[in-house]
Amino acid sequence: MPLFSKLPDVGITIFTVMSKLAADHGAINLSQGFPDFEAPAELIEQVSHYMRQGHNQYAPMQGVPLLRRRIAEKVALLYGARIDPESDITVTSGATEALYAAISAVVRPGDEVIVVEPAYDSYVPAIQLNGGVPVFIPLRFPGYGLDWDRLKDHLNERTRLIILNSPHNPTGTVLAADDLAALREITAGRDLFILSDEVYEHILFDGREHQILLRYPDLARKSFVVSSFGKTYHATGWKIGYCVAPPELSLEFRKIHQFLTFTSNTPIQMALADFMAHTGHYQELAGFYQRKRDLFLDLMKDSRFKPLPCAGTYFQMMDYAAITDEPDETFARRLTTQYGVAAIPPSVFHHDRRDQRVLRFCFAKQDQTLIQAAERLCRI
């Protein structure tokens, strides 16, 4: 029987490709976004504690109740928004699952979905698998601001969902209060939903404040807000995330979640619930990563790479036009195999493979790793 691919244009994700290339060539891996240092020892200890205590069976489908309560407390503490842990929060197997479930919950065949580019690579396949049509809005290069007039011009009666991501992967741009004001204005009175990917919500620099959509009741009413514990607790391999949405949206979300994974890892949820009581961890994360960003920028200041502004996330975009004219995918490969440093070519996050002679470097690394990588990059 002939096999018709449902995703004919999709290959293996760039993160898997570049991490394998880095491993094969013994390169320093600044490509895929993950820390090369440990999650807090106390958190790891709590996971094994709960395993030893026998918490090894299914958690409730919506997530461990105490963890959902802690999430609601955090949202109230940091952002002043009140959400109901029973009806509004669902714990998922990473933000990836939450994004897929949210898109599947609302996108019907023929629906249009606004996707801001460069876009994290899981959005478009999820839209397409649900029969939706992505409508692409590019961020302005090189400042990566969002052109709200342009976005507004692309809204019509078929628009079902707008996907936003702040702090933004891969550019490090961050939505400010006036962006949210623009979003509120253009979505007022429209019959559409918003999916806000906020996995880097605690990693904003230079005193910026995260503009969570939940601050605004008019936006919260029509939004899925997605976050991930992987980024916040230096444990990307644990794959625990969550989605906050009003009851009627959460109901539809859970119909999908319960048949994607049903539920997520029990002892890790319980350990995270305990550890979230240390509010200092997420409140100090921005300072922790700002020091790493500044170290990396300082180490790179005599290189021929030119940094673009980075207001959040643990990614630094670098313009390499002074070094070579090669397309970013070619240069990213050569950088890995010849110079021993792996980076991500952001053209893969554009539907038209738009190439801006920029590479994305992950600085969620030990200082020693950044020092070694910068030494190699400064030789080019």
Applying CB under 6 A, the residues found at the interface with ligand GLN are 13, 15, 32-33, 169
Residues with Cβ within 8 Å of 230's Cβ and at least 6 positions away in sequence, in order, are 94, 95, 199, 236, 237, 238, 239, 240, 241
Q: Taking Cα atoms as reference points, which of 279, 311, 77, 79 lies closest to residue 208?
A: 311
The residue among 15 and 148 lying less far from ligand GLN, judged by its C-beta, is 15
Rounded least distance, CB 347 to ligand GLN, Å: 14
Q: How many CA atoms lie within 13 A of 250 on its CB side?
A: 23
Rounded least distance, CB 246 to ligand GLN, Å: 27
The residue among 32 and 269 lying less far from ligand GLN, judged by its C-beta, is 32
| For helices 65-79 and 266-275, angle between their N-to-C axes, nearest 10 degrees | 40
The residue among 232 and 250 lying less far from ligand GLN, judged by its C-beta, is 232
The residue among 314 and 331 lying less far from ligand GLN, judged by its C-beta, is 314
The residue among 270 and 359 lying less far from ligand GLN, judged by its C-beta, is 359
Residues with Cβ within 8 Å of 296's Cβ and at least 6 positions away in sequence, in order, are 316, 361, 363, 370, 374
Rounded least distance, CB 302 to ligand GLN, Å: 27
Q: Which two tokens stand for residue 204?
A: 């904003």
The residue among 205 and 315 lying less far from ligand GLN, judged by its C-beta, is 315
Q: How far apart are the first and last CA of the chain?
A: 51
The residue among 151 and 348 lying less far from ligand GLN, judged by its C-beta, is 348
Could you give the C-alpha distances from 246 to 64, 220, 373, in angstroms and in order?
19, 7, 45
How far apart are alpha carbons 199 and 92 in whole angstroms?
Answer: 13
Rounded least distance, CB 349 to ligand GLN, Å: 9
How far apart are alpha carbons 7 and 59 in whole angstroms?
Answer: 32
The residue among 134 and 230 lying less far from ligand GLN, judged by its C-beta, is 230
Rounded least distance, CB 121 to ligand GLN, Å: 8
The residue among 222 and 234 lying less far from ligand GLN, judged by its C-beta, is 234
| For helices 367-378 and 285-299, angle between their N-to-C axes, nearest 10 degrees | 30
Q: Taking Cα atoms as reference points, which of 142, 192, 197 lies closest to residue 175?
A: 197
Rounded least distance, CB 236 to ligand GLN, Å: 7
With tokens 């461990």, the residue in question is 64
Judge contact between 43 and 276, C-beta under 8 A.
no
How far apart are alpha carbons 213 and 222 in whole angstroms?
Answer: 10
Rounded least distance, CB 72 to ligand GLN, Å: 25
Q: Which two tokens stand for residue 144?
A: 């990566």
Rounded least distance, CB 33 to ligand GLN, Å: 3
The residue among 37 and 190 lying less far from ligand GLN, judged by its C-beta, is 37
DSSP state of 335: I
The residue whose Cβ lies closest to ligand GLN is 33
Rounded least distance, CB 13 to ligand GLN, Å: 6
- List phi, psi (to 5°) of 22: -60, -45
What sign does the CA torsion over 146, 149, 150, 156 have?
positive
Helix H or strand E segment including 267: helix 266-275
Indicate the length of the chain as a whole number.
Answer: 380
Rounded least distance, CB 199 to ligand GLN, Å: 8
